[in-house]
Every structure is written in structure tokens, then in C-alpha cells.
Amino acid sequence: MMKFNIVPPDRSFEASLKEKIDNLTKPKGSLGRLEEIALQIGLIQHTLTPSLNHPVNVVFAADHGIVEEGVSFSPKEVTRQQVFNFTRGGGGINFLCRQHGFDLKIVDAGVDYDFGECPGIIDYKIRRGTSNYLCQPAMTGEEMNLCIERGSQIVEKCKSEGCNVISFGELGMGNTSSSSIWMHFFTGIPLAECIGAGSGLSDEGIRHKKEILAKAVEIYRGDGSPESLIAWFGGFEMVMAVGAMLKAAEEKMVILVDGFIMTACALAAKELCPAVQEYFIFCHCGDESGHKKMLDSLGAKAILNLGLRLGEGSGAVCAYPIVDSAVRMINEMESFKSASVTKYF
């Protein structure tokens, strides 16, 4: 697998940032999470005047072989239908990106459909969907490596366009199943506690999903390494997101982490390179069963809890104005000294 040189932020700079934040015209700590977020971004960018430039949301789309086992409420064709919907600007992520000034990139990582030269779709297709991991690994090691490389390439393109804050979303029926299995292996949480309704399964559907995924875990024959687990159970769109996260951290970009599936990708990225977590801002805790437990396992506090379970990067883009407020706070508020205000705490 390609290697990434991810350097943790320089903590020796933390005192200077804290001093600036604590001396803005407010009681110390009174802006709560905004202060925490400003501190993190200042550390990432190693500056007392951080900035957020040209935000981008990348949606990776792919199909999953495990859908053949009836683990998803939504049929496989929804993946390609929604990709077309995104290109026409009609998806949930489209209006959010328009509202908050995000560039939106749509990547075909492995949809079971030939889009041809469709405007608005970046063709990084590995093949037309992963294999059914109830029968064999979802992808080969070579395919996993190619996903990592192509995810990295997307981030390189975004950075060349001036982006320093990026979010990732996904589209792929069945990807909550892969996420649940990654969560189980990477956190040690019992599998049943990692599995939820996905796009809308009934209680009976969830029971069936648990049976299928338990069997898939039972027949796993890999070596237990992160690389093996990522390839055996992952989706092409998920592994591209992992590669993208690793590259974004290497480039010292701010990474906005979306919901259950992207948190699972963040978890996988951390397994490959622990320092990557320093660059994550976890944006929302969704309704999918297990998401809060996964966030807790990472020691992460989500900014929002709006009952979202759409994916696509929607929660990350929704949270962006709060991240922007944190940066505006540290840049636009006066200090007690400059404003000639007596400290009142």
C-alpha cells in the first residue's frame, strides 16, 4: 500500500494559540466548542490566523456485492440513479453544498453501471461493484491499493484548486454493512451492537442483516491486519475515502468527518496511521445504530446531532458554518488589550 507521511501538529504552538483565544473579549471558555475547534485548526495550520479556503465535498459512489444477501432496504439500482440525480443538482448534498459554498465532486469508484463520458462524474471505477464477502473477499489487495491511490489523487486535485478544508461522503447500497464489520473489528464492540437499520430496514430486516454479517465474520480467513480487513469487507467508495483522508492529513488539510460510514472510514484510516485523527473534525452523530459508540471509541465529540442518516457528506457540510464561526472568532474578535476592555473573569 502507498505510504503517507502524516506529521502530528506541533503541540509546542498550542500555548500561543490558547493565549490568543483566552484573551479575546469574552470570559475564558465562554465560546465552548468554538474555542476547541479554533485551537485544533490553528494547530493544524500552525498559525494564529487560520483560514478556510475553497471547501470541497467529495462523494464516492460504488456498489456492494453483499447486497445480494438482502442486507439493504434500498435496491442496488438506487446507487446509479442517485449519481445521475447529483449531476442534475437534485440531491440532498447538492442543496447543502450550494447553501454553504462547497464545490461538489462526484466520483464513480465502482458503480455497477457504465456512465460513459457523463459530465460531472469523475471516472475512477475499479470495477462494477465489489464481490460478495459472504463468499470471497470484497476486493483484492491490488484493488484496495488502487482505491487508496485514487482517493489520494482526488485530494491532490482539490488542493491544487486551493482547497484546505475538505469533507467526504459516500453513496452505495449496503455500505452500512461493511461499516458495521469494520467497526466490530477495529473497536472490539460486539458485532450485534454495530448493526442498524441502514436506509430503513424493519426489525425483521435487521435480524436478517445480523445473521448474514455474523456469518461473513465467521468465515473470514484473512490475517487480521487492517489492510486485510479493509480489503475483505470494504467498499470501493469507502476505501477511496480512506485514501483521501490519509492524503488530506498528509497535506495538513482540515477534514470534516460525516456520519456512520465516514466515521468507519476514519476509524480504518486511523488503524493505518494513528496520527490522521489529529486532522479530523467530527461533524455529527447520526441515527444509525452504533454511530455514537464508534465516536466514543475514538474519543470524539460530534458538533451536531440532528437525527441525520443520509450520508453523502450532508452532516459535514451542515456543520461547516460552525467550523467557520470558530475561525472567524479567532480572527475577528478583538483582544482585551486592543479593545481597551478590562478583563472581567
* CA dist., res. 165 & res. 53, Å (int): 7
Catalytic residues: 312
Name the strand (E) or helix (H) holding 58: strand 56-62
**If we measure between CA atoms, which residue out of 117, 154, 111 comes closest to residue 130?**
111
SS3 (DSSP) at 106: strand
In single-letter form, the type of residue at position 164 comes to: N
Which residues neighbour 74 within 8 Å (Cβ) at sequence distance 6 or greater?
173, 198, 199, 200
SS3 (DSSP) at 307: coil
Q: Which three cell numbers stand for residue 128?
A: 462494477
* CA dist., res. 59 & res. 106, Å (int): 5
* CA dist., res. 150 & res. 173, Å (int): 21
